[in-house]
Structure 1
């Protein structure tokens, strides 16, 4: 009997401890049957849900679960019971005042000791509203941040050191990729030009953010290069510090800057040309006048005078070309047949070309193409281009002049040669004042030709490689 009393006293003590723990727990301790009916609730349910335990006894648990969560919670409970495992889930429960509270439920199955069948479910329900709202707020902020980055007009990359973690659609397009995954498989240095690796590596290791954008050159997937400016800002991504790198394509801006610089050079060249021409022409006029007086008095060595006069005429021609830069001459527009003009120029140049072992051929896709133009100025352009081609082929070669319609109201001319070409790094400088690839050139010929074409509302472009050069001229028919 003494042993039985001791055992009963021990059981009562354990029950008292369990009751104290249950009644004083901040979480709700719940017993439910297999259908979800409440068999027991700890007093804390009044603090969390507003109901007293008595109000909820024999009520079904799922009647208080938010309708958006009910199907999921019921399936989760059913799966746990069928598998005979403990479980965990989160859902919203309705409070007495009609509001909902986010809870986390940890539940354990109770089995009949004789049959080992599940008879009840013990749950610990904890209020996680503040945590859930905090998590939702973080998700919303992350979603807002992602939307801002994804739809930004500038390319954006999130990187941890040299590893690319994220890139927006603008960045994918800038680098010429089809999908983001292609870029995410590369490192940051893979897309940065080798010339900029040192500065990029130093910037990666800086703890502080740089204040200003820095110019870089990136390598697109097709191997082409693009000028950009980049700036890194420290941010948090997936709970880790990363660099939010803003990338701006400055290709168009650099082109605009080059055009402005080129325009300034042209302006300076024009002013310089005007000054030189006027300063030289004045004494030249006086010399020519006195030369004519001397020629009338001295009959001997008249051939010397002819040579001197011829050279002075040549100087005047050069001065006239310089003045074209400063003040374009008045254009005398007339309707002219383009093929006839080309043939006239070809006849002038042919003799010189044959002496250099060069063959000039023509290919006209259309006949009787007439344009409104200043014949002499256009002929000057054709002569300049043909002379340049001849000088590019010291060992002989071929020049082809093609003429074809371009759309409904334009004509295209192509001047092709088989010379040694122009290096890629020098090609973009062609047309700048005083820049030339020829030993004795002035750098004015192509620039004047370009100006004449533009005065005719046309365009001129040049392509070149080791196999030769192609110059394209497009002019309006009217």
Structure 2
């Protein structure tokens, strides 16, 4: 049997349930179907009834719950709040609070509790407690707070400045780092527009980029100058992105991240200046400069265009470097290209280079590793050394001439004295001897020796040039008359052509005769089976005359033609190798030049002299 106390308690509970049914007709339906957990307690805090939602939340069955105390379901930290608000409900106050609840599995749930007091005839009889599981909501709020805190730390401590502007361009938020870039504090800029700090020359572009951002609903990047508080200018880069309301799909503001790029701009300007200086240096270099990438020419300067004999850069670009190198040097050039590709510099080396018109010239080429348009490439320098080689040959010939002169002077001095004695005694012997058969031969050979000695002395100590006015056509006719006999004997016909009329030059008539006779004798000797020799005069401009000596001989082989004029070089059995050299020296003393051309059809000697 129940005790009297329990009987009284059961009676009160029955009365409370009856009261709830009578006062709230839909009480049963609401109680059972509610998604929120509901507990019905009496005035002493005893649990009278719970719904299925509470059973699910707590993990206990109704029978288990009705045997348990209220404090069983809450953590120790929450009990004070639970009893405090139950007391307030007993005083007739409707209260709402959050606390932690512990279910049967031991899991901690975050719950929101609303205590609704129940009174019968103005007396407190119980409480309806409604519980909402807000564990997920609390977790989300915690995550949101973490994100908000992270964003706060990020925006307040990042070196870049974050700016939020409304559609009118007014600043509604700017991060504290703005002071580093602009010199203004955040509170000084909030409420102003970007035109307040953007340089007036850049404002139009900045505003256009900003409008383009929210009209196109995309990110826009731009570079602008802003004026700091102290009046100085800094370059910034801004990345602007519109913020779209997910509900209305409209743009509500524009967020911009601004970064100071002043140092980068300075570095870029300095690099551009260096590149410009380098390009100007290369463009105006006296040497031909090519930039080669994987053997392909990707740059050529003006000197290179002229040196390679092309009309424009397009005729060089995209061509293989080997296209302009003589085939004899291809293998060596390939090896040097590979060496430069490996990062090594190769020094100047001589090559034969082919021009656009097919002609070949001597050049020296150097390769240097470089970096061009973000690619490893080769800086190739080409120098025309044709004139240098000519100079070297002239210096070599000059050195030979000096040595030959010294040698000639010594020989002439040592030979002439005994030769004079021999000639004198021979003349005495000639008078006394009856048989003079060999005296003529001996005298002619002595005369030949004296001629050679005379040429040697000219070589050792050139005669002074006695300049006078020389009528060139008459000089040529005199020479033709002198040489005609020898020409006729060798079946050679000499013709004279004059297209310049009466012309006069300054010169030593005897030395010029010596030169022209020498050239004609060589021409006659080059035609042992007969032929023709033409002497032709032509004007060059207003102050020079050109004289050609053309024969129809077999010509001179290239390897011999190259050596003509060297001291003591001759192909004649009885030649001295001094005639052509002395002739060239005489013409050069007259401020003229001599050139030789030859092929199988004959030889041409060109003499150019200044007019009087």
1:353 aligns with 2:480: no
SS in 2 for 1:31: strand
C-alpha separation between the residues in 1 aligned to 2:396 and 2:496? 37
C-alpha separation between the residues in 2 aligned to 1:333 and 1:160? 61
8 Å CA contact 2:217–2:241 kept in 1: the answer is no
Q: CA deviation at 1:278?
A: 2.9
1:263 aligns with 2:398: yes
Q: Deviations over 1:80-104 (max 9, x none)?
A: 3333323222323333333333333
Q: CA deviation at 1:373?
A: 4.1
Aligned-pair Cα RMSD in Å: 3.2
Provide the residue aligned with 2:204 in structure 1: 71
C-alpha separation between the residues in 2 aligned to 1:372 and 1:386? 22
C-alpha separation between the residues in 1 aligned to 2:284 and 2:499? 49
Q: Deviations over 1:298-319 (max 9, x none)?
A: 213x232222222222222222
Moved more, 268-277 or 421-430: 421-430
Cα 1:280/1:14, change in 2 over 3 Å: same
Moved more, 254-263 or 237-246: 237-246
What's the TM-score once normalised by structure 1's chain length? 0.87
C-alpha separation between the residues in 2 aligned to 1:333 and 1:101? 79
Cα 1:467/1:306, change in 2 over 3 Å: closer
Q: Where do residues 282-361 of structure 1 align in structure 2 (5 Å cutoff)?
A: 282-300=417-435, 302-331=436-465, 335-361=469-495
Cα 1:410/1:220, change in 2 over 3 Å: closer
Provide the residue aligned with 2:379 in structure 1: 244
Cα 1:273/1:241, change in 2 over 3 Å: same
Cα 1:193/1:87, change in 2 over 3 Å: same
Cα 1:231/1:287, change in 2 over 3 Å: same
C-alpha separation between the residues in 1 aligned to 2:503 and 2:265? 78
1:24 aligns with 2:158: no
Equivalent of 1:60 in 188, 193, 201: 193
Cα 1:298/1:160, change in 2 over 3 Å: same
Provide the residue aligned with 2:81 in structure 1: none
Cα 1:172/1:211, change in 2 over 3 Å: same
SS in 2 for 1:269: helix
Cα 1:4/1:76, change in 2 over 3 Å: farther
Provide the residue aligned with 1:176 in structure 2: 309
Ranked by relative contact order (alpha carbons within 8 Å, sequence separation 6 or more), the top structure is 1
Q: CA deviation at 1:434?
A: 1.8
1:164 aligns with 2:293: no
SS in 1 for 2:167: coil
SS in 2 for 1:303: coil
1:44 aligns with 2:173: no
8 Å CA contact 1:273–1:322 kept in 2: the answer is yes
1:399 aligns with 2:533: yes
Cα 1:375/1:273, change in 2 over 3 Å: same
Cα 1:29/1:186, change in 2 over 3 Å: same
Q: Deviations over 1:217-249 (max 9, x none)?
A: 433323333433344343433344444344444
Q: CA deviation at 1:371?
A: 4.3
Q: CA deviation at 1:384?
A: 1.2
Q: CA deviation at 1:122?
A: 2.3
Cα 1:109/1:6, change in 2 over 3 Å: farther
SS in 2 for 1:184: coil
C-alpha separation between the residues in 2 aligned to 1:64 and 1:395? 100
Moved more, 359-368 or 260-269: 359-368
C-alpha separation between the residues in 2 aligned to 1:448 and 1:149? 45
8 Å CA contact 1:433–1:447 kept in 2: the answer is yes
Cα 1:418/1:40, change in 2 over 3 Å: same
Provide the residue aligned with 2:523 in structure 1: 389
Unaligned runs of 5+ in 2: 1-35, 37-111, 113-131
1:377 aligns with 2:511: yes
Provide the residue aligned with 1:107 in structure 2: 240
Q: Deviations over 1:9-64 (max 9, x none)?
A: 56644543443233222133332223322222233333443333332222112332
Moved more, 44-53 or 25-34: 44-53
C-alpha separation between the residues in 1 aligned to 2:471 and 2:546? 14
8 Å CA contact 1:23–1:43 kept in 2: the answer is no
Larger Rg: 2
Equivalent of 1:149 in 265, 282, 288: 282
Cα 1:393/1:9, change in 2 over 3 Å: farther
C-alpha separation between the residues in 2 aligned to 1:18 and 1:97? 36
8 Å CA contact 1:24–1:44 kept in 2: the answer is no
8 Å CA contact 1:30–1:41 kept in 2: the answer is yes
Equivalent of 1:192 in 321, 325, 333: 325
SS in 1 for 2:453: helix
Cα 1:372/1:62, change in 2 over 3 Å: closer
